[in-house]
């Protein structure tokens, strides 16, 4: 806060172990950092989805950015999505168009969101999937333009309750005056224990099946 952001210094924070880290345990899960880093004025927080995107973000942060940047990346390597969508300007990526609901996420949780959308499609629900490349500052105009056609929005994040972006996005959309309904899934308020990452996803309702089930419940409530 004082030594970097107050002075607007060009410092790049490489934040290892974003999200769930499995057997490293509850002391190492990176599920609180967005909450405290986003309180710092002038800070940028980037969330790569792949190793290629991580390299592009690091290169941009070092060579082209002037102020403080935190790049939070997960333990391990690529999941199914391996390309980079980072160009330094576009902070919102639409991975799938939809009509009934938008699932918004960031980082490597994209894979679970895409799998959930595929499951929903099999049941006649057309879910769009949108990924944020930057979670602070949240790119307000890009995000509201992307989400304006959706009445129902479900934000899925690998973060502790209150340490993510759900409330920020809901507040942002409410100022637009549109009739959006914003819901969310996260890891809850308790410390997450150790365990296989996929098992932890399932336990906390962030695997594809749980996300699809939650979206169906949300749509049923609204209708």
pLDDT tens-digit series, residues 64-122: 999 999 999 998 888 999 999 999 999 999 999 999 999 999 999 999 999 999 999 99
Q: What is the pLDDT of residue 75?
A: 87
What is the spatial order of strands in the sheet that 181-185 belongs to?
92-96, 127-132, 101-106, 152-156, 181-185
Q: In the structure encoding, which two tokens stand for residue 194, read together?
A: 């150790």
- Is residue 130 within 8 Å of 147, Cβ to Cβ? yes
Query: Residue 25 has what pLDDT?
Result: 84
- DSSP codes joined into one string, 63-127: HT--S-EEEE--SS---S-------SS--EEEEE--SSEEEEEEGGGHHHHHHHHHHHHHTT--E
Distance CA 126, CA 128 (A): 7
Low-confidence ranges of the chain (pLDDT < 50): 221-223
Predicted confidence at residue 138, as pLDDT, reads: 87
Work out the widest C-alpha separation in the chain, in whole angstroms: 53
Do the beta carbons of residue 12 and residue 61 sit within 8 Å?
yes
pLDDT the model gives residue 223: 44
Q: For residue 74, give Cα distances in angstroms to 32, 51, 85, 101, 125.
A: 14, 10, 17, 27, 30
Residue 96: predicted pLDDT: 97
Distance of alpha carbon 109 from alpha carbon 105, whole angstroms? 7
Q: In 3D, which of 116, 80, 79 has the Cα closest to residue 98?
A: 116
What integer pLDDT is reported at residue 76 of this predicted model? 84
């Amino acid at each position: 806060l004082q030594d970097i952001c107050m002075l607007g210094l060009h410092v790049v924070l490489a934040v290892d172990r974003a999200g769930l880290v499995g057997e490293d345990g509850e002391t190492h899960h990176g599920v609180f950092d967005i909450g405290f880093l986003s309180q710092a004025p002038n800070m940028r927080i980037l969330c790569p989805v792949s190793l290629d995107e991580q390299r592009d973000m690091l290169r941009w942060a070092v060579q082209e950015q002037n102020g403080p940047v935190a790049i939070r990346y997960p333990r391990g390597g690529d999941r199914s999505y391996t390309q980079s969508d980072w160009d330094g300007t576009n902070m919102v990526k639409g991975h799938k168009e939809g009509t009934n609901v938008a699932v918004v996420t960031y980082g490597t949780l994209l894979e679970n969101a895409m799998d959930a959308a595929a499951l929903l499609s099999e049941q006649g629900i057309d879910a769009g999937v949108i990924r944020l490349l930057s979670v602070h500052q949240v790119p307000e105009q890009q995000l509201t333009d992307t989400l304006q056609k959706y009445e129902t929005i479900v934000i899925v994040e690998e973060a502790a309750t209150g340490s993510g972006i759900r409330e920020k996005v809901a507040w942002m959309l409410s100022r637009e005056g549109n009739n959006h309904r914003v819901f969310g899934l996260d890891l809850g308020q308790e410390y997450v224990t150790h365990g296989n990452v996929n098992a932890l996803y399932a336990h906390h309702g962030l695997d594809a099946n749980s996300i699809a089930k939650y979206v169906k419940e949300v749509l049923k409530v609204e209708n």
